């Protein structure tokens, strides 16, 4: 899983829509011939995708004798089908598409009666309502589980969706009377 | 310039004390009970001595201040919320007499900004209020120099008491109540620290900033404000696991004002320690500018007042 660089070389501001960008991974199989990789990448850019990283597994031949390539890209969600269609239309063998990976990680600290308010329900609501994946959780309950405790959750979120995710987490916090300490986004904090 | 100073607290007294160094005369110094007024200049040193000895600032009526010859009214009375009185009326009277006003009092600028600007437009004098945001740190003049239109946001730590408490909690692994008591012993926190720890004081400063950025439109009630009273030591420990810490951060943009405890990188610019303040001014064309320094204190805040006096045009 390649780390998504902040500034892709192929930045295409035109491709950005109000829906924001999402990150996707596609796995391709290429015939071992010169120029094949370049040919396979063109449909991505042509359809509004922004290349983040390319994993070219030379020497690792698939059972069909082809070379597997994993490509991370970002594009508006409504363009992803076009990207995949474009690849298939160009005769590229797409073996996996749409297995999303997430572009950003953020930390939040929750404070309050975390145990009494059903921490696991809080976390699943964060996953559902904030469209996030909880990667990591630490809990500190120095007063015991009946008192005020704190939890830090590291969340994976789609690129460009942090504000929305945080707004959703904030409203879950309000519902459950928890204090949500959010990261400061924006600027070079 | 001839200065008439209303308010004889730390800031008012320091302005009187330092005025001569900046080339100005003090013609009046008043608190709510008395005033020392002399159109040829009051004897600042002896007035301050009397005040320090528990006596009245002077035997004149505070009303007499408005009758004397002065160029600049320095409004340094305590900040009040809601209608921001009596500060607002003081400013109004001075502007209506075509004098300049320099405020150290946050109330009128945070709560009645549009009215102040309307009064300023109708009369000859100007108003300035650098001292209301970040004490000695030149925040508003930096925004002014960048032109407010080119500033997209101002963020930062503008309450030293809350910052001191969070810093000590993180460093010593102590809880809020314990550190607050220590801060009160050290004189960093007041006996009633509510305004500092519940975010109100910081919010007033960011409301003023939002008013400058958007040319009005904000009062305290428009700000989203959370304090630090509910942040336990364990939350700071958890934040540190990931190289972060918690600071009471304010944000002002043209769209709104928000103050609350936020996660910031432990070694980042905004994670100032102790009572230090910092602002980050985000500009459209010049990236982010940072200014850090002492955000409170008599002489510190007085330097902001006197810098403002120096920027005033001749009447």
Q: Is A141 on the interface with B (CB under 8 A)?
A: yes
How many Å lie between the alpha carbon of A17 and the closest alpha carbon of chain B?
22
Cβ-contact B90, B70 below 8 angstroms? no
Cβ–Cβ gap A109/B232 under 8 Å = no
- When CB atoms are compared, the residue of A142, A152, A187 closest to B239 is A152
Kindly give, in sequence order, each residue whose CB lies less than 8 Å from that of residue A43, ignoring residues fewer than 6 positions away.
A83, A86, A87, A89, A90, A92
Query: For residue A146, what pLDDT band results from cuts at 50, 70 and 90?
Result: confident
**Catalytic annotation present for B205:** yes
H helices then E strands: how many in chain A?
4, 8
pLDDT tens digits for chain B (315 residues)? 999 999 999 999 999 999 999 999 999 999 999 999 999 999 999 999 999 999 999 999 999 999 999 999 999 999 999 999 999 999 999 999 999 999 999 999 999 999 999 999 999 999 999 999 999 999 999 999 988 899 999 999 999 999 999 999 999 888 999 999 999 999 999 999 999 999 999 999 999 999 999 999 999 999 999 999 999 999 999 999 888 999 999 999 999 999 999 999 998 899 999 999 999 999 999 889 999 999 999 999 999 999 999 999 998
Cβ–Cβ gap A186/B153 under 8 Å = yes
How many Å lie between the alpha carbon of B172 and the closest alpha carbon of chain A?
15
- Which two tokens mark B192? 């009633």
**Which residue is it, tokens 């082809």?**
A66
Give dist(CA A149, CA B153) in Å, integer.
33
Cβ–Cβ gap B246/A152 under 8 Å = no
- Which two tokens mark B216? 């009005």
How many Å lie between the alpha carbon of A145 and the closest alpha carbon of chain B?
13
From residue A123, give the alpha-carbon distance in Å to each of A109, A131, A143, A155, A170. Answer: 12, 11, 21, 10, 13
Query: For residue A15, what pLDDT band results from cuts at 50, 70 and 90?
Result: very low
- Which two tokens mark B295? 């955000």
Tell me: pLDDT of A19 over 60.
no
Element at B101 (helix H, strand E): strand B100-103
- For A124-129, what is the mean pLDDT? 93
Query: For residue A4, what pLDDT band results from cuts at 50, 70 and 90?
Result: very low
> What ipTM goes with this model?
0.84
Q: What is the pLDDT of residue A2?
A: 40
Give dist(CA B261, CA B199) in Å, integer.
9
- When CB atoms are compared, the residue of B237, B238, B264 closest to A184 is B264
Tell me: pLDDT of A158 over 80.
no
- For A184-189, what is the mean pLDDT? 63
Q: Is B47 on the interface with A (CB under 8 A)?
A: no
From residue A134, give the alpha-carbon distance in Å to each of A149, A151, B120. Answer: 18, 12, 54
Cβ–Cβ gap A109/B235 under 8 Å = yes
Q: What is the pLDDT of residue B236?
A: 96
In this structure, what are the phi and psi dihedrals at residue B75, rounded to the nearest 5 degrees?
-95, 100
Cβ-contact A27, A98 below 8 angstroms? no
Tell me: pLDDT of A10 over 70.
no
- For A49-69, what is the mean pLDDT? 78
Tell me: pLDDT of A11 over 50.
no
- Which two tokens mark A188? 């070079």
Q: What is the pLDDT of residue A187?
A: 52
- For A153-177, what is the mean pLDDT? 90
Give dist(CA A37, CA A64) in Å, integer.
17
Three-state DSSP state, B86: coil
Which tens digits make up the pLDDT trace of A68-119? Answer: 888 888 888 888 888 888 888 888 878 777 654 456 778 999 999 999 999 9
In this structure, what are the phi and psi dihedrals at residue B146, rounded to the nearest 5 degrees?
-80, -10
DSSP state of B60: B
Q: 10 Å Cβ neighbour count for B183?
A: 22
Give dist(CA B122, CA A111) in Å, integer.
51
Q: Quote the pTM value.
A: 0.80
How many Å lie between the alpha carbon of B103 and the closest alpha carbon of chain A?
30
For chain A, the C-alpha Rg in angstroms (whole number) is 20
Query: For residue A16, what pLDDT band results from cuts at 50, 70 and 90?
Result: very low
Cβ–Cβ gap B230/A179 under 8 Å = yes
Q: Is B240 on the interface with A (CB under 8 A)?
A: no
Give dist(CA A84, CA A43) in Å, integer.
8
Chain A residues touching B260 at Cβ < 8 A: 181-182
Query: For residue A5, what pLDDT band results from cuts at 50, 70 and 90?
Result: very low
Give me the count of residues in chain B.
Answer: 315
Chain B residues touching A187 at Cβ < 8 A: 153, 155, 280, 282, 288
Cβ–Cβ gap A151/B238 under 8 Å = yes
From residue B219, give the alpha-carbon distance in Å to each of A161, B62, B83, B216, B293. Answer: 30, 29, 11, 9, 26
According to DSSP, the residues that pair with A75 across neighbouring strands are: A22
In B86-138, which ranges are continuous DSSP H helix? 87-96, 106-111, 113-122
Q: Is B235 on the interface with A (CB under 8 A)?
A: yes
- Sequence-ordered strand ranges (E) for chain B: 2-6, 25-30, 35-37, 72-75, 100-103, 127-128, 151-157, 223-225, 244-252, 257-265, 276-283, 287-294
């Amino acid at each position: 899983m390649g780390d998504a660089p902040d500034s892709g070389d192929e930045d295409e501001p035109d491709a950005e829509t109000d829906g924001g960008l999402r990150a996707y991974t596609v796995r391709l199989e290429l015939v071992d011939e010169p120029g094949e990789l370049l040919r396979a990448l063109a449909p991505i850019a042509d359809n509004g995708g922004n290349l983040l990283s390319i994993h070219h597994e030379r020497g690792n031949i698939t059972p069909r004798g082809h070379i597997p390539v994993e490509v991370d890209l970002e594009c508006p969600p409504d363009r992803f089908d076009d990207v995949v269609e474009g690849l298939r239309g160009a005769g590229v063998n797409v073996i996996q598409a749409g297995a999303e990976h997430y572009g950003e990680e953020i930390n939040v600290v929750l404070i309050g009666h975390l145990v009494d308010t059903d921490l696991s329900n809080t976390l699943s609501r964060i996953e559902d309502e904030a469209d996030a994946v909880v990667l990591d959780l630490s809990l500190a309950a120095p007063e015991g589980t009946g008192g005020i405790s704190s939890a830090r959750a590291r969340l994976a979120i789609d690129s460009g969706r942090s504000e929305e995710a945080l707004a959703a987490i904030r409203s879950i916090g309000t519902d459950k009377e928890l204090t949500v300490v959010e990261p400061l986004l924006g600027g070079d904090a | 310039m001839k200065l008439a100073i209303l308010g004889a607290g730390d800031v008012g007294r320091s302005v009187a004390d330092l005025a001569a160094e900046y080339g100005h005369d003090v013609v009046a110094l008043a608190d709510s009970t008395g005033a020392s007024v002399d159109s040829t200049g009051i004897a600042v040193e002896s007035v301050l001595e009397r005040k320090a000895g528990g006596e009245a600032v002077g035997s004149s009526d505070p009303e007499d201040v408005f009758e004397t010859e002065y160029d600049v009214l320095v409004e340094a009375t305590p900040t009040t919320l809601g209608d921001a009185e009596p500060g607002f009326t003081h400013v109004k009277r001075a502007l209506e007499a075509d004098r300049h006003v320099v405020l150290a009092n946050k109330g009128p600028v945070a709560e009645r900004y549009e009215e102040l600007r309307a009064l300023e437009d109708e009369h000859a004098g100007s108003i300035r209020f650098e001292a209301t945001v970040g004490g000695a740190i030149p925040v508003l003049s930096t925004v002014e120099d960048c032109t407010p239109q080119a500033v997209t946001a101002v963020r930062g730590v503008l309450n030293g008491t809350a910052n001191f408490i969070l810093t000590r909690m993180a460093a010593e692994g102590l809880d809020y109540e314990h550190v607050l008591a220590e801060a009160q012993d050290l004189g960093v926190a007041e006996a009633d620290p509510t305004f500092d720890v519940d975010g109100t004081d910081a919010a007033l400063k960011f409301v003023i900033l939002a008013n400058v950025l958007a040319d009005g439109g904000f009062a305290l009630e428009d700000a989203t404000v959370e304090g630090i009273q509910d942040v336990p030591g364990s939350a700071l420990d958890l934040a540190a696991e990931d190289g972060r810490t918690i600071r009471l951060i304010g944000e002002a943009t043209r769209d709104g004002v928000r103050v609350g405890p936020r996660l910031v990188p432990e070694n980042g610019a905004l994670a100032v320690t102790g009572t230090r303040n910092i602002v980050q001014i985000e500009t459209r064309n010049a990236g982010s500018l940072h200014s850090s320094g002492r955000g409170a204190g008599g002489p510190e805040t007085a330097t902001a007042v006197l810098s403002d006096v120096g920027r005033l045009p001749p009447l």
